Structure formats: C-alpha cells, structure tokens
Amino acid sequence: MPEITVVITAYNLQAYLPECLDGLRAQTFQDFDVLLVNDCSTDGTMAVAADYAAKSDGQIHLLTTPQNLGRPGRVRNFALDSGRITGKYVIFLDGDDRTEPAFLEKLHSAAESNNAEIALCAYDRFENGTEHVLCEEMRGFPAVIELYARNDDVLAFLNGSLWNKLIRTELIGELRVPDFNAGEDLSFSLALYARCTRIACLDEILFHYRVRPGSVIAGTDAATIRAFAAECARLLAQCRADLSLYEVTALAVFIHIGISMAMRAWDNPDVPTRPMLREIRCFLSEQGVLRGRRFLRLSSLAKHGVRGLAIWVCKWCTRLRSMVMFLGAYNLFKKIFHMDVKF
C-alpha cells in the first residue's frame, strides 16, 4: 500500500493537467499513488490523463464519474466512496495547480515527526497568464497546533482549502464534503479539526494556487452563499456545548461568511450586493456572531496585525450596515496594488 494517496479532481483541465502531473512526477517523496477523478470532461483532459497513466508504472489510477457531478465536493466524495484511497495519508489536489518538488516529502515528514493527523504548508496565489503572485498565505503559524487545548483562535485563521493539507485517512471516516460550491472545504476542514488532536504547520511555500476567471470559485452565486450559511449554522449549533470551540467557530464563520462571501457577492454581477449583505448581516445576528464574541474583540484581533484589524473593522461595518463601503475600498486597493489578500 502507498504511504500517500493523492486525489486529483479534474474537469476540462487539458491545458493545466500536464503541469500538475509533472509536478507530482518530480516529487522527492515517491511512496504515493494518484487517483485522478475525471468529472466527465468534454475537452482532452481524459486523453492527457490516460497518457500519463500509461507511463506511470501503475502509480496513476483513473476514475471517471458516471455523469458530470458539477461540483468539486461531489467529485471528492465520489473518490472517498470509491474504495480506491488506500494510503495512510490522503491529499486532495485540483488539476490546475502547482507543487514544489519537496511538497509531499515535507508534509509527510511534518506529520510523522509530530504525530499529527493533519500537516499543512504555506502557499501563494498566482494570476493565471501573467504569473503575478497576488499574495502569500499561511505564514507565521506555530510548528504544531495542539487541539486538545482549545484556548486560542488559531483554527479560525487556517485556510479552509484541502489542497495544502495532508490528512491521515482514518481521520476522515464517514465524513463527507457538504454539497455546495464554495465554503464546502472549510466546512469539511472544521469537522476534521473537531476530531483532531494535533496539526503540523510548515512555514514554507510548497504549493501554488492558480487564480483564473473560469474557476468554480469565481462565480459564487446567492444559493451557494445561503447553503454555506446553513452549514455554518449547523456547525455552530453542534459546538455550543464547548464554549472555546464555539468561540473559534464563530470567528471562522464571521471571516468566511461576513467577509469572504460578502466579497464574492460583490465580485459576481449576478448577485445583488446590498440585499445579500443584508441577508449576511441578519444571519450573523441571528447566530449570535456579531455581539459578545471573545475572539472578535479588538483586544484579541490586534495580535493578528493588519489582518486582525481589518476583521474588526469589517465586524463594525457589518453591524453599522456599511460593509459596502469596505468592499468598495478593498476593491480599489486590489486594483491599485494588484494584490488580493485572503481573509
């Protein structure tokens, strides 16, 4: 059995898949297999995958969904239900991203040496076509996060995506990715953290995330935002008995619903921004997120520097019904400085 199973989900990624697979072929750690799940692509994705599989000496295995599932979470669940994930660890990649040669080696070493169920690394986000790096993320975290002592807010600042996280396969068990298009990875990650005792963090950029207009995340619609909010409400209700876990979950919900989803509503011309901001504010108020939360106080957020201050400002913009002003100012900042910091 391989030590790691790399799950790659792909839909119409003919132009990008070779770079992703070449990156895996160049890994310094080779005790892994690849389960490449093709979601009924209509371009040459499957031909590219088949060519690489034929030359891989059995390291790359192909799986095609019976019909187009249309959502990355559904495709990942298809992989989880396939019985083809056999590694001690699993990592879920998108077929259009890049990895450094030591990506798997360093994640695996961090997980093993720290007896961590999850190991993650820093990454950057680069603009498709121009190669311009928009931001670097997940820097400055402690080498090990002990989760049995839930007395700080660090979990809320871990990115929710799966592609920079090596996960012990047995930790997942019956958990599956929720069925919506944006925020589903975060919901899945939060559920994993609740089962986890230790996370290892590498303060090194080993993964490069491609930002491109045609990706699923670029067109987040109102229905997706509402579905994500409903899942966040479920997560909050589930952890109310554990005050520390509830506080950090409330902070994560504010960051991802109150800020990230508000930004996506602004970026999608098909979503009426002001009505959606009203919905978001009402949701956060109903869930008790906007008032009295320990980790949303300035005294707590100040230790996170500019990012923490921005979150505190967003909280007050939301409460004072002026979030649209923050979004306008932030988008002006992005245009002037050609940066896009993820909250």
- pLDDT tens-digit readout, 230-260: 999 998 998 888 888 899 999 999 999 999 9
Give the integer Cα–Cα distance in Å for 137 and 121.
Answer: 9
How is 77-92 classified by DSSP, letter by letter? HHHHTTT---SSEEEE
3-state secondary structure of 34: strand
- pLDDT tens-digit readout, 178-212: 988 888 999 999 889 989 999 999 999 999 999 98
What's the pTM? Answer: 0.92
21 vs 343, which has greater pLDDT? 21
In terms of domains, do 44 and 154 share one? yes
Domain of residue 99, residue span = 4-216
Q: What are phi and psi of 138, to 5 degrees?
A: 65, 35
Q: Is residue 173 in some structural domain?
A: yes
Q: What is the number of structural domains in the chain?
A: 2
- Asked if residues 40 and 9 have their Cβ atoms less than 8 Å apart, the reply is no
> Residue 6 is encoded by which pair of tokens?
């790399």
- pLDDT tens-digit readout, 255-312: 999 999 999 999 999 999 999 999 999 999 999 999 999 999 999 999 999 999 999 9
In terms of domains, do 189 and 243 share one? no
Q: Is residue 343 in some structural domain?
A: no
In terms of domains, do 208 and 242 share one? no
> Residue 172 is encoded by which pair of tokens?
């997942």
- pLDDT tens-digit readout, 145-164: 998 655 689 999 999 899 99
Give the integer Cα–Cα distance in Å for 118 and 130.
Answer: 33
Give the model's pLDDT for residue 338.
83
Cα 280 → chain centroid: 21
Give the model's pLDDT for residue 181.
83
In terms of domains, do 156 and 262 share one? no
Neighbours of 47 (CB within 10 A): 11
Q: Is residue 303 in some structural domain?
A: yes
In terms of domains, do 248 and 194 share one? no
Give the integer Cα–Cα distance in Å for 342 and 131.
Answer: 18
Q: Is residue 23 in some structural domain?
A: yes
Give the integer Cα–Cα distance in Å for 249 and 232.
Answer: 9
What mean pLDDT comes out for the span 125-153? 89
Give the integer Cα–Cα distance in Å for 308 and 312.
Answer: 6
Single-letter code of the amino acid located at 297: R
- Asked if residues 162 and 171 have their Cβ atoms less than 8 Å apart, the reply is no
In terms of domains, do 126 and 261 share one? no
Q: Is residue 342 in some structural domain?
A: no
In terms of domains, do 30 and 179 share one? yes
Judge whether residue 326 has pLDDT over 60.
yes
Instruction: Indicate the pLDDT class of residue 216, thresholds 50, 70 and 90.
Output: low
In terms of domains, do 201 and 332 share one? no
Q: Is residue 165 in some structural domain?
A: yes
* Bridge partners, 89 (sequence order): 4, 168
74 vs 341, which has greater pLDDT? 74
Average per-residue pLDDT in the chain? 93
Q: Is residue 323 in some structural domain?
A: yes
CATH code where residue 12 lies: 3.90.550.10
Look at residues 189, 216, 243 and tell me which one is the last residue of a structural domain: 216
Look at residues 216, 241, 276 and tell me which one is the last residue of a structural domain: 216
Q: How would you classify the pairing of strands 4-10 and 89-94?
A: parallel
Q: Which helix or strand (DSSP H or E) is residue 9 part of?
A: strand 4-10
How is 279-318 classified by DSSP, letter by letter? HHHHHHHHTT-SSS-GGGSHHHHGGGHHHHHHHHHHHHHH
Look at residues 188, 216, 244 and tell me which one is the last residue of a structural domain: 216
Give the model's pLDDT for residue 24.
97
Give the model's pLDDT for residue 214.
57
